[in-house]
Amino acid sequence: MHDDRTLVEARLRRVLDERIRPAVYPESVPLEVAVWHAPGEPVPVAEGLAADAEPITVGSRWGAPWGTSWFRVTGTVPEAWAGRTVEAILDLGFDENMPGFQCEGLVYRPDGTPVKGLNPRNQWVRIGAPVQGGEEVRLHVEAASNPVVMDYRPFTPTPLGDLETAGSDPQYTLARMDLAVLDETVWHLVTDLEVLGELMAELPVDSPRRWEILRAVERALDAVDLQDVGGTAERARSRLTDVLAAPAVPSAHRISAVGHAHIDSAWLWPLRETVRKVARTAANMTALLDDEPDFVFAMSQAQQWAWVKEHRPEVWARVKKAVAEGRFVPAGGMWVESDTNMPGSEAMARQFVHGKRFFLDEFGVENDEAWLPDTFGFAAGLPQIIKAAGSRYLLTQKISWSRTNRFPHHTFRWEGIDGTRIFTHFPPVDTYNCSMRGAEIAHAVRNFKDKGAARHSLAPTGWGDGGGGTTREMVAKAARLRDLEGSATVTWETPSAFFAKAEAENPEPPVWVGELYLELHRATLTSQAGTKQGNRRSEHLLREAELWAATAAVRTGFPYPYADLDRIWKTVLLHQFHDILPGSSIAWVHREARATYARVADELGGIIDAAQRALAGEGSVPLFFNAAPHTRSGVPAGGARLAEVSGRTTRAERPDGGHVLDNGLLRVGVDARGLVDSALDLAAGRETIAPGRTGNLLQLHQDLPNMWDAWDVDEFYRNTVTDLTDADEVTPGDDGVTVRIVRTFGASRVTQVLSLPPGEKRLVVDTEVDWHETEKFLKLAFPLDLHTDRYASETQFGHFFRPTHTNTSWEAAKFEACNHRFVHLQEPDWGVAVVNDGTYGHDVTRAVRGDGGTTTTVRVSLLRAPRFPDPETDQGVHRFRHALVPGASIGDAVREGWRVNLPERRLHGAGEVAPLVTVDRDSVVVTAVKLADDGSGDVVVRFHEAHGARAHATLTAGFPVAGVEVTDLLERPLADTAPPTVDDGRITVRLRPFELTTLRLKRA
């Protein structure tokens, strides 16, 4: 037989595009359209429905950036259409290649009942099937003219990312507003041909199945009368029956499809628009569930569910009904799909506490899985947090974006820093926006790395990022792929059903130990410094507010602010979403975030002050309140008393114009340029700074990544660097014992103050940057005379190690990494810590000197200046605090990290305040002291082993204890864990390295 394969395939493409798809709607009549443009922010539904609308015609421009327009469409179904299926086609000006990234709408009936959402791949509204002739049609569309921030030339700087700079030019052209007859037979023919054509293209050319499909398609095309597609569609479909009925081979890969709409809680749109995106998607998905009995939809992020409940009660009613039927599934058990690298220990725990509790309270549903398809890498402390929340599984696909190394597994157990292992799945379809295309399904099969050991994978199916969800076309394709020869089988399933099957068939999968590092988007650890500092400050203020409010409640009857703390926690957790905290959202988002963090700080400051005043009482005794988990200046952790200050600091001038700071523990030399050329640990006789090098060195790099400006820093940024060594001023500070340095570069100015606190072995570096650079990267470097092949970075509930060398491509790819409050480098008998109060990104490199010694350089990432999506990223004044701690053990690093983030609070009172709880081992760090969320008055204490060693400690309660329980993060007793004994308020605990424990103490 002659090879006519390409001829038939080309014929299929053209006939589908030019004849069959246009015949899906063979008849149409125009609708009458009127519009009212809301003058400001979105209005309530009732107001939009009642507004006076003006006529508008197809082809007219509409929609200022970020505006809301209410369209009213009216018409009459022609009598000749009686008994047929009729739909309204409402095209607001869509680009079908941008679902979720441009204008969208939510359709309402005149009584305010929501119908469904509109987006570029979902423009229809069912009027009737069958319809009555002469039926009057009246619909309202709340349309959002969200501008296209990331267009076909992505990463181009644009003012459209903020309402304040976006202008008022109309963004869209009204394209089509019609009533149309839907020919369902033709619609099904389109789906048949698409599924077979896409499957055919993925099969080997010499495969018999490919040729069998080709001939069936050819026969179907022969059966189509191109001048009467509707009249011949059924005949054409009959030619495809046999090839569509051929069952999959028994060994076929099995895909669990989960209806999905990954909705970024903010990204290229502000938070207020996400509220509406979620409502549109939820309306769409509940409507689709009504039409498709096999379909299952899962939605994560409890915050988004809460928005629907608060803002769209009519949609919420439909969602609740679908949840009760088990088909609209709460997923993930987190408040938002957060970043997991930067949130602190308690914040990461509270993501699960608030997320899981919302689903339990609203639906009685508890999630087994953490659902984080788009998060930019996963910290090594996360597995035990997932387990401590009562969950068992993790799903993500983002690691497939790594640029250097391909991850070796799709299903595996991920082991965290304490040894906890979590069953983890990476969908081999490599997208969280699967649309059931044949290429996607075939890629999942070819890509799956666990063949032979496992046969199941998951496919999150539906348009995401900006929402939209699954379409009826995807459901129709999945139905044909349920059991089709040549393809993987596809079945709609819940996430829990998938994980149960996957774990049962592969109970002992491979193990991956340590962080799941994304070899991409490394700059998200630095972009939008103000957002990151707001997060860090909020986390520590929440710790203080809970600690002092709980202490005051037990001691004085102070009213514990349950509702306020719950609300503030949820606000902070929302802003840890993986495009807010990482700094990859538009200017509007970060402008609002800065204002929100300021309000949070004010409110928490008020709670802290009120609680401390209740504890202090009336008096003139100077009190120092210590919120850190270690004794400080003689003040116990969680207590207050007169601080003990020992030692003094001196400053002397050097002949070269530099200065020497000395406090008896540390002697620091500062040269005439304001650079640290010596930091001598006097007790150890050990120099910290590498020979011939200087610390406190600011370095400026050119920084234009190949793409993803706010997200990425590419390794070639290191090829060019400017050392900022010129100083405008190097003078004594106002107190006479500090050194003040001023530098100018480009359009920016840096002011630093170097200080040695009396009695403390640490050099504090306070840096203020008035930043006005673009596409630059600012680092602060400390070259250390220290030889080590690894260093420790703090993460949630502990720390973990990264190499200082680049032996392998995996190590080389980690040229920018995350830490929380400290990094620590150690030779066997001496170490150095660098601690911070609000930065996350850093790098560590090593070089061997001519004298044979090793210089290990720690560089802290301070600021970047990308121009997309926020063209004014980080412009303005920023303040940072870092400290260099020579001679530090890992315990010193832990303690100093807490110290720099919890500055002292002083006020006068009647006398000493005893801690509510104490622990007798520094290695056991208390991260939370609070009252139980259920309002019982029980005291909850969460702590972990922080040094990486076993610990035997005694926790002592400063109040009568009637009983104690070991609980999960949701403060529920652990059934398989015996409660510790209580002896006169003393509780003995034994902890493995980095083990996390939560105790619930019942007050007597």
Q: How far is CA 554 from the centre of its chain?
A: 36
d(CA 818, CA 376): 11
- R_g of the chain, CA atoms, integer Å: 31
DSSP reduced 3-state for 159: helix
Phi, psi of 427, rounded to the nearest 5 degrees = -60, 120
Give the C-alpha separation, 254 to 233, whole Å.
31
Query: 341 and 525 in contact (C-beta within 8 Å)?
Result: yes
Cβ atoms 892, 833 nearer than 8 A = yes
Closest alpha carbon to 407 in 393, 417, 396: 396
**What's the rounded Cα separation, in Å, for the pair 82 and 27?**
13
* DSSP sequence for 395-446: E--GGGG-SS---S-SEEEEE-TTS-EEEEE--TT--SSB---HHHHHHHHH
Q: How far is 115 from 163, CA to CA, in rounded Å? A: 29
At 205 the three-state DSSP class reads coil
Structure tokens that stand for 464 in this block: 């995401």
Q: Which two tokens stand for residue 49?
A: 């429905």
Tell me the angle at which helices 472-480 and 271-291 cross, rounded to the nearest 10 degrees.
Answer: 50
d(C-alpha 382, C-alpha 50), whole Å: 50
The amino acid occupying position 975 is: A
**358 neighbors 306 (Cβ within 8 angstroms):** yes
Note the residue count of the chain: 1004
Both tokens of 617, joined, read 């009482």
Q: What are phi and psi of 709, to 5 degrees?
A: -55, -55
Q: Which of 91, 339, 374, 450 is catalytic?
A: 374
- Cβ partners under 8 Å of residue 705, min gap 6: 523, 711, 712, 713, 714, 717
* Residue 947: CB atoms within 10 Å: 20
Token pair for 97:
């290649």
For the question of residue 374 being annotated catalytic, the response is: yes
> Distance between CA 148 and CA 164 in Å, rounded?
16
**Angle of the 313-324 helix axis to the 345-363 helix axis, nearest 10:** 80
Q: What one-letter code names the amino acid at 451?
A: K
Nearest alpha carbon to residue 712 among 268, 377, 405: 377
State which H helix or E strand residue 995 sits in.
none
The residues, ordered by sequence, that sit 6+ positions from 701 with a Cβ below 8 Å of its Cβ are 717, 718, 720, 721, 722, 776, 777, 778, 779
CB atoms within 10 A of CB 137: 18
DSSP letter (8 states) at residue 717: G
Nearest to 426 by CA among 505, 368, 372, 351: 372
Residue 807, burial from CB neighbour count under 10 angstroms (0-12, 13-18, 19+): exposed
- In this structure, the strands spanning 411-415 and 421-425 are antiparallel
* Type of residue numbered 254: R
**766 HSE (CA, 13 A, CB side):** 10
Q: What are phi and psi of 877, to 5 degrees?
A: -95, 135
Burial of residue 373 (number of CB atoms within 10 Å: 0-12, 13-18, 19+): buried
Q: How far is CA 106 from CA 117, 179, 322, in A?
A: 4, 18, 19
Where in the sequence numbering do the catalytic residues fall? 374
